[in-house]
Amino acid sequence: MCNAHHLRELTRAWEQDKQAWAERMKTLLCQMNEAVKQAGGALTPKKVQEWRVEYRACLKQADSECPPPDETQREGKRGKLKRSKSRNLLERLRCYEADVLRFLEDPNAPFTNNQGERDIRMLKVHQKVSGCFRSMGGANILCRVRSYLSTATKQGLTSSEAMTSLFKGEPVPIIC
């Protein structure tokens, strides 16, 4: 789960719904992220447990501030009763705690997945502007080019250097 998205949703809950728990949770997640950075990418099991206890305490406080809908108001309706955006966020943070806090103990799990989102953003923009791809082959070509350019950038090459090497038929430094 991307904590950058959680931070944005928590900011929204604080600013628009005046949910104080959201501000506390946002601060807590940022503190956790900073602790992981200072520890070099992963925390000890004891520290992870301490953070989890604090996380759960924050969620418990949130329950009193943002309670679930009153079941007595059901009036014969079936299914789940409507919840506020803040309540939905709270329930998601509780249900997916392991995924939200995975970055604490797994150095391969980043705090955010923004890089992955940036890598596919151009594909989504193209799809929105054009409405669709004319063929699966065209979508595959765009994905291949974007993947190549993204890898080149991550290896320290500019997009123009990577494309120049490719079209000249020269060995590309990132593949050699």
End-to-end CA distance of the chain: 34
Q: Residue type at 25?
A: M
Which tens digit of pLDDT belongs to each residue from 9-59? 999 999 999 999 999 999 999 999 999 999 998 899 999 999 999 999 999
Cβ atoms 139, 122 nearer than 8 A = no
Q: Which two tokens stand for residue 122?
A: 């151009």
Report residue 109: phi and psi, to 5°.
-100, 110
Q: Percent of the chain, pLDDT > 90?
A: 43
3-state secondary structure the chain: CCHHHHHHHHHHHHHHHCCHHHHHHHHHHHHHHHHHHHHCCCCCHHHHHHHHHHHHHHHHHHHHHCCCCCHHHCCCCCCCCCCCHHHHHHHHHHHCHHHHCHHHCCCCCCCCCHHHHHHHHHHHHHHHHHCCCCCHHHHHHHHHHHHHHHHHHHCCCCHHHHHHHHHHCCCCCCCC
Does residue 175 carry a pLDDT above 70? no
What does the pLDDT average to over 119-131? 69
3-state secondary structure 15-56: HHHCCHHHHHHHHHHHHHHHHHHHHCCCCCHHHHHHHHHHHH
What does the pLDDT average to over 143-171? 83
Q: Residue type at 116?
A: G
